[in-house]
Amino acid sequence: MTDNATAEPFTGHCLCGAVTITMTPAKPHLEACHCEMCRRWCGSAYLAVQGDAQPVFTGEEHITRYASSGWAERGFCSNCGSNLFYCFTPTGSYSFLAGLFDDLGDMTLGEEIFVDEQPSYYTFKQETVRKTGPEIIAEAKEAGFTFE
């Protein structure tokens, strides 16, 4: 069940428009990941909208998927290079870069993860739920996922 069951779908696109995404948000807020891998991928924190149901892509032939770990893949547009999504492969759930969407309604930053890896050169103003990497991994293990 989604935290945002009445949410309307969002539509977004990559920089060149070759890939479009239509998705329904799973939560009523944005999330930020501060892990080293996301920062390297995005240039800073990964600001994301978690998707609920399976997203709809157009221009899928322009999506390149990269297996960034044993449990995740990241997608980008092979035409313009825009980062598109993180996919948790055990469940097939997606989160998308917030900047892909023209209008996120009244969403604000609500949760930050891997805060133990956050560098000192930036902080966010909003009060959020903040979880460390070990807390996130423990939650995932409690839900039955394994990481190697």
- pLDDT of amino acid 6: 57
Residues whose CB falls within 8 Å of the CB of residue 84, separated by 6 or more in sequence, listed in order: 14, 19, 21, 63, 74, 75, 76, 77, 96, 97, 100
Predicted confidence pLDDT, tens digits, the chain (148 residues):
344 555 789 999 999 999 999 999 999 999 999 999 999 999 999 999 999 878 999 999 999 999 999 889 999 999 999 999 999 988 899 999 999 998 898 899 999 999 999 999 999 998 999 999 999 999 988 988 876 6
Q: What is the CATH number of domain 10-142?
A: 2.170.150.70
d(CA 96, CA 120): 25
pTM to 2 decimals? 0.88
* Identity of the residue numbered 58: T
Closest CA relative to residue 49, chosen from 10, 98, 105, 108: 98
Structure token pair of residue 56: 């709809």
pLDDT at 146: 78
CA dihedral 58, 48, 39, 62 (to 10 degrees): 0
Helix (H/G/I), strand (E/B), else coil: 6:
coil
Predicted pLDDT at 1: 35
Look-up: residue for tokens 């409690």?
142
Can you tell me the distance from the alpha carbon of 75 to that of 40, in angstroms, rounded to the nearest whole number? Answer: 14
The pLDDT value given to residue 2 = 42
**DSSP E strand boundaries for the chain:** 10-13, 20-23, 30-33, 46-50, 56-58, 63-67, 72-77, 83-88, 93-97, 109-113, 129-131
